[in-house]
Amino acid sequence: MQSEPNGNPPGTIAAKQPQLLRALGLWETTAIVMGVMIGTAVFIVPAEITREVGSPRAALAVWAVGGLLSLFGALSFAELAAMMPQAGGQYVYLREAYGSLIGFLCGWTFFLAAQSGGISVLAVGFAQYLGDFLPLSPWQQKAAAAASIVLFTAINCRGVREGGRVQSLLTGLKVGAIAALIILGYVLVAGPPKGVPSLPAPRGAGFLAPFGVAMVAALWAYDGWNTCTFAAAEVKRPERNLPLALILGTGGVVVIYLGLNLVYYHVLTLPEIAQSPRVAADAAVRIFGRAGSYMVSLAIIICTLGSLNGSILAAPRVYYAMAQDGLFFRWCAAVHPRFRTPHVALIVQGLWAVLVVAMGTYEQLFTYVIFAAWVFNGLAGFAVIILRRKRPDLPRPYRVFGYPVVPIVFVLTSTWFIVNTLVEKPVESGIGSLIVALGVPVYLIWKRRLTAGQTRDAQQ
């Protein structure tokens, strides 16, 4: 499907309105990549990974392999982002490679559960860790979570520059806090108390199964590197800055995660890590004393808010692009005449995320569709190959390094992740599949309305 000069496919709604501004520089775009990726997982999942593989060396291998595979995904998306620097990012790539139905199902899943559910999970996580400093009742935690969504939605409605500045600040603070934890962990602690060098774990061919389970946890911690592509229409010099941000941001997070895990194994014993529900807090207590747990709670709050702002900033651009194509509420294609942001799409997303928090269904929604998000990631990775054949005429300022091996490895990884989830969590993945499938009749309704509107316009 070829695009018109405005970046929309033939027959879409013409946007006679103010346009989005290219105001995000390289650092702001990289901050979105790193800020969304670094949430709470790296402070928690090392325990599960250690239990599964049984040794520091094997656990670090899990983080390294997971990081390399995520980097392969970022490299693949970098070609697509430089080639089609349009609002909506991944939605646009799927639309151009596979048609409007697949693109719509991706956007539908993002709005209904994947992005909105993720925003709700982050907001509730912020409120829970805020409880370490302020005594909050359950309803007060929900109110704090909703307030954080409203606050960052309001900031991002005011302008993409404002949202980008907040993202840069929060990402800088979280990277600085983690770097301090890594450095001081080695400076202040000579090493862990004597303990067992490894935990019981299968060896030989039997090691592949627990390694795969551990990889699922690592890939979850690395998730979110693709989010910056949603705001591609607002990135300065996108042919340069988008690929650089994807590569530098993802690579930077790999280094941070490896460094943080090295500190865990430096200051704690293997049994302590494997049995801890809050590994980072336990490590901080060993480094800083009893005040360490509060320092980690503050760091996690900053990390959570950074992920929250980045997600709120980027995701509405998908719904804005869908609305421009006539496949979402028409008013979500509006751009604020003064602030030049998709303010209506931002508000709609915020209202839905707050409602999900109030209903208390955020964890279920997010769990149900996390595997579906990887379906669309894998399809987008394969779109690199499809569009090389389907649209060889499109300019490609950046071509993925190691083509076609890099995108193929990423697609195979995504397929493995999906199959593993279907086997290990059949109920959750089944419900997630149903959520995606429900988008098909919704798509047909939107398509019928679009066709009817085009027919009326032609008759007039």
- CATH number of the domain where residue 436 is located: 1.20.1740.10
In a domain, 232, yes or no: yes
pLDDT of 203: 64
Q: From CA 448, how far away is CA 459, in angstroms rounded?
A: 17
Q: From CA 249, how far away is CA 257, in angstroms rounded?
A: 12
SS3 state at 44? coil
Token pair recorded at residue 316: 């509405």
In a domain, 3, yes or no: no
Q: Which of 38, 31, 51 is nearest to 259 (CA)?
A: 38
Q: From CA 307, how far away is CA 310, in angstroms rounded?
A: 5
* Percentages of the chain per state (helix, strand, coil), in multiples of 5: 75, 0, 25
Could you identify the residue written with the tokens 């303010």? 343
pLDDT of 6: 40
The number of domains in the chain is 1
Q: From CA 117, how far away is CA 315, in angstroms rounded?
A: 12
Helix axes 362-390, 100-109, angle to 10 degrees: 150
- 260 near 287, Cβ under 8 Å? no
In a domain, 20, yes or no: no
In a domain, 16, yes or no: no
The CA–CA distances, whole Å, from 185 to 63, 283, 334 equal: 19, 8, 49
Token pair recorded at residue 156: 């991002």
In a domain, 130, yes or no: yes
pLDDT of 200: 64
In a domain, 436, yes or no: yes
In a domain, 68, yes or no: yes
pLDDT of 204: 56
User: Could you list the pLDDT tens digit for every one of the 460 residues in the chain?
Assistant: 444 334 444 444 444 678 999 999 999 999 999 999 998 888 888 998 999 888 899 999 999 999 999 999 999 999 999 999 999 999 999 999 999 999 999 999 999 988 988 899 899 989 989 988 988 998 999 999 999 999 999 999 999 999 999 999 999 999 999 999 999 999 998 876 676 666 766 665 566 778 888 888 898 889 899 999 999 999 999 999 999 999 999 999 999 999 999 999 999 989 899 888 889 999 999 999 988 889 999 999 999 999 999 999 999 999 999 999 999 999 999 999 999 999 999 999 999 999 989 987 766 777 777 788 889 999 999 999 999 999 999 999 999 989 999 999 999 988 988 888 888 788 888 888 998 999 999 999 999 888 877 777 666 6
In a domain, 17, yes or no: no
Find residue 231's DSSP bridge partners.
Answer: 87
Find residue 87's DSSP bridge partners.
Answer: 231
Cα Rg for the chain, rounded, in angstroms? Answer: 22
Quote the domain boundaries for residue 164: 26-393+404-459
Q: From CA 315, how far away is CA 106, in angstroms rounded?
A: 12
